[in-house]
Amino acid sequence: MTSLQELTANRPTRTLDDQEILLVQGEGGGDFYILLSGKLAVVRDGVSIATINQPGTLVGEMSVLRGTPYSATVRAEGPAKVRVIRDATALLDSEPGLARRVAALVAGRLDATSALLVDLAKQNKDKASEQNLLRRILATLYAPVTAERDS
């Protein structure tokens, strides 16, 4: 499958300085970014949830796909470079190959998250409170999207 970097090679890039903010939680939306080099920190509601350092990683796609503001703040940890995809919804509508690649990445993340939760459930099978929490998380992952969650 063709990589996101290859599919978007004609798009502009942006260089970020150490600690420079790329996305602000609750703001914007509509654009996504592909990490080309460096490291990005992802923080949601004040909690650090991920460090992104793998070139080709997509950032901001949930906002684009859901039509909502960014769900986390993303900042550079050291110098970083990203590919900039402005008005990503229009681009996805016009380029089915890119849309399929983005869908495959999002589905892969969901699959990896589900597998991790199942593994944690197996490891904690004798701990009722952990089992209840893991069941709630899995149920949320696979619950139908309601109008409230979709907006």
In this predicted model, what pLDDT tens digit does every residue of 50-73 receive, in sequence order? 899 999 999 999 899 889 999 999
Q: What's the chain's average pLDDT?
A: 85
CA dist 33 to 106, 123, 137, 138, 141, Å? Answer: 14, 36, 27, 28, 24
Confidence of residue 9 (pLDDT cuts 50, 70, 90): confident
pLDDT at site 81: 97
Q: How far apart are CA 71 and CA 68, in angstroms?
A: 8
CB 69 within 8 A of CB 28: yes
DSSP, residue by residue, the chain = ---HHHHTTTS-EEEE-TT-EEE-TTS--S-EEEEEES-EEEEETTEEEEEE-STT-EESHHHHHHT---SSEEEESSSEEEEEETTHHHHHHH-HHHHHHHHHHHHHHHHHHHHHHHHHHHHTTT-HHHHHHHHHHHHHHHSPPPHHHH-
Bridge partners (DSSP) listed for residue 23: 74
Interhelix angle for 128-142 vs 96-123, to 10°?
Answer: 160
Q: Pick left, alpha or beta for residue 94 (phi over 0 → left; psi -120 to 50 → alpha; otherwise beta).
A: alpha
pLDDT at site 146: 56
Check whether 13 has a pLDDT greater than 50.
Answer: yes
Q: How far apart are CA 68 and CA 30, in angstroms?
A: 8
Q: How far apart are CA 85 and CA 102, in angstroms?
A: 12
Confidence of residue 74 (pLDDT cuts 50, 70, 90): very high
- When mean pLDDT is compared across 93-97, 101-105, 116-120, the lowest value belongs to 116-120
pLDDT at site 112: 83
For range 128-132, the mean pLDDT: 71
